[in-house]
Amino acid sequence: MQSTNFAPWGIPGLPGLTDFGKTAFQLPGAPDIGRLGQQLGSFGASMAPAMQAFADLKIPPAELARIQAEYLRQAAELWNNSLSAGATTLQGDRRFSSDAWATNPMAGFAAANYLLNARTLMELADAVQGDEKTRARVRFAVQQWIDAAAPSNFLALNADAQKKALDTKGESLSQGMALLYKDLQQGHVSQTDESVFEVGRNVATTEGAVVFENELFQLIEYKPLGAKVYERPMLFVPPCINKYYIMDLQPENSLIRYTVEQGHRLFVVSWRNADQSLASKTWDDYIEDAVIRAIRVVQEISGSKTLNTLGFCVGGTLLATGLAVLAARGEQPAASLTMLTSFLDFSATGVLDLFIDEPGVRLREMSIGADAPGGPGLLKGSELATTFSFLRPNDLVWNYVVGNYLKGEAPPPFDLLYWNGDSTNLPGPMYCWYLRHTYLEDKLKVPGALTVCGEKVDLGAIQCPAFIYASREDHIVPWDSAYLNTRVLKGPLRYVLGASGHIAGVINPPAKKKRNYWKNDDLSGTAAQWFEGATSVPGSWWTEWTDWLNPQGGKLKAAPKALGNRSHPPIEPAPGRYVKQKA
């Protein structure tokens, strides 16, 4: 097998996305999608640590000989079968599941040969000697090559796309070109029909008002939906790497609306989409001037010294850090803490660990961090979004490349994917601090190892019950890693595991009667032991959470007649201006 270096990744044999753009259509006058390729290929910058892993790979000679012999045997068998049977039977891969592949001998053979090569490459990757992180990087990079090189990604080899082009007399190709041109203008591959949605019109529509704002965030208070509310208010801290309205997509799947319906007086942080004016902001700024400031404002408006709190993804990490800073100052404002798919212990971060090492983090610090020669910069939201998409490339990248451009099929409207494409920038110094002290050095869980806002941080000093939720198929915060949070927090704990992934597992309203969750009050063992003893419960974990949360709310009292107070009057209706700012 020949090896060739391609620019976007710089990994032997890994095709560049710009080159893919030039060859995917193979039509006279087809536009060069280099610009889009560069945007997709920015993922390659995040894979820089993997490049060195390929410099000196070693496979035991005996294992290499076995893999080669098996490959030759299967290749000969495949060739002989294709000569005798005509069509090739393809099973187990939805990319090649249609009749067009089965009835086209050349396309079927190409797909079967590709699958054989893919299996062999992964066997070679698994046989590589070295430390576990290097081996994992090799496997990941090889898988990226395999997914990019699939014959379904190229018009000249895609039997489905060719059949549709013939059936539509070329109309599908024309439509594909139009969709490609549109994506070139917007700078990313469309995963949904973005024209259907508008923040504040048909997503993020729960009624409320912005009652406070500073340069980092707006605080939204939501209008009660009943005559009474719990005496303790509730504060949500969403991830700052995404827009908050993942928790308020539609009324029927809105965690925000659901929480208000349960009788909680709810406040939600809406992060500002960072621009160059915020490029110098630090992790300390996000803790002191956002998380802690939001807690203060909720206390001032509600008149309650204590409140229930919830953090989602990195919002959970920010919230817990803020509560630990306040604990060091002798304050315990949280009556409860809910953490949704969040890290506190970063010792096992799953596939994201492949991107993190000292040279990579130092490169970030030198380019966009506080000490960057040209001054602090921004981590572009599009770069983060692309990296996360390439963690599941067949589902979140190539599926849309094939559907949009090769088949000319505009993606249908889907609120979650609209949100997924609404990316958010981060200040470089803030991001670099987070990258170094959590993912790289894993110091946040160590009592007193980090100083934040002038205080030694001890997450174990947070004195409140905690509800920890994880999703079983989460590839961003693996469920067994989230389980490690039970060793960091010291108050009464409840750990619940939901089905599905990082987002779909969280956004699972009870009315849908979908999926299931697992619970087990015994947290003494490992994650595997916990799961072995867990009980599966049908439906949504939301009801389990509210059964736990409602007693933390205190007594019921008359709902406020107006939002905010004299010191913090309503500024504008929800969802506010900040969430509408584009990266």
* Residues paired with residue 269 on neighbouring β-strands, in sequence order: 219
Which H helix or E strand runs over 64? helix 61-85
Q: CA-CA distance, 458 to 442, in Å (whole number)?
A: 13
As a whole number of angstroms, the distance between CA 183 and CA 187 comes to 6
- Catalytic residue selected from 313, 432, 453, 464: 313
Q: Alpha-carbon distance 299 to 425, whole Å? A: 29
In the three-class reduction of DSSP (H, G, I as helix; E, B as strand; rest coil), residue 518 is classed as: strand
Q: What is the DSSP letter of 309?
A: E
What are the DSSP calls for 215-272, one per residue? SSEEEEEEPPSSSEEESS-EEEE--TTS-GGGGSSSGGG-HHHHHHHTT--EEEEEE-
> 481 CB contacts (<8 Å, ≥6 apart)?
343, 345, 347, 348, 349, 350
CA distance 213 to 216: 8
Residue whose pair of structure tokens reads 């994917």 in the numeric block: 417
Round to whole Å and give the CA distance between 267 and 256.
9
- Tell me if 269 sits within 8 A of 219, measured CB to CB: yes
Q: Give the number of other Cβ atoms within 10 Å of residue 538's Cβ.
A: 9
**Contact call for residues 443 and 449 (beta carbons, < 8 A):** yes
Q: Which residue has the tokens 């990248």?
A: 397
SS3 305: coil
Cβ neighbourhood burial of 489 (10 Å; 0-12, 13-18, 19+): buried
CB 534 within 8 A of CB 520: yes
**313 noted as active-site residue:** yes
Measured CA to CA in angstroms, residue 421 lies from 43, 240, 312, 382, 480 at distances of 15, 14, 18, 8, 28
In this structure, the number of other CB atoms found within 10 A of the CB of residue 29 comes to: 6
Please give the DSSP secondary-structure letter assigned to residue 440: I
What are the residues whose beta carbons fall under 8 Å from the beta carbon of 304, sequence distance 6 or more?
Answer: 231, 232, 233, 298
Contact yes or no for 468/479 (Cβ under 8 A): no
| Residue-wise burial string across 320-355, b where 16 or more C-beta atoms lie within 10 A, e elsewhere | bbbbbbbbbeeeebbbbbbbbbbbbbbeebbebbbb
Report, as residue numbers or ranges, the catalytic residues. Answer: 313
